[in-house]
Amino acid sequence: MVIGDKGQVMQIRQASTADLPRIMMINRLCLPENYTYYFFDSILQSYPKTFLVAEVNGEIVGYVMCRVEHGLSKLDRLNMKRLGHIISIAVLPDHRRMGIATALLKRALEVLKEEYKCSEAFLEVRVSNHPAISLYQKLGLAIVRISKGYYIDGEDAYVMAKRL
């Protein structure tokens, strides 16, 4: 059991294959960036420890999924690093502003560092997505650059990163 920073009682646990249909439903309801079942399942099989769900009263209300990449640091130019890529996070509308995304992300960042030995975490976010940008800043991620036309509709992304 986890008590969120607003007193919300929730469970944060690793996702299982059986959870994928509900995770996909939440993803489609909350975000325009949707993925195939195969993509969700391949992330779950490869990086199960950072594919997390939040449950309230036994129902999944949010998820985060990440993968580990070896690539150029977003913060220290020209350094190759093990990077934790936060691919997608969402919380159902009725459960927002209760600290659920904060709890999911905090746990994912800890696991990326401790279990997957990443020295940096990063993500892309739409430049118009102020709630998410504010969430990430609160957790110590900083905007490091703009990725022009990153999204399929042409919107730019901020790349945000944090040392772990």
Task: Please report, as residue ranges, which positions from 11 to 40 form the binding site for ligand ACO (by CB under 6 A).
Answer: 30-31
CA distances from 161 to 19, 30, 85, 154, 158 (A): 28, 23, 9, 22, 10
Q: How far is the CB of 148 from ligand ACO (least distance, A)?
A: 17
33/41 with CB nearer ligand ACO: 33
75/127 with CB nearer ligand ACO: 127
Q: Does 123 bind ligand ACO (CB under 6 A)?
A: yes
Q: Does 135 bind ligand ACO (CB under 6 A)?
A: yes
73/100 with CB nearer ligand ACO: 100
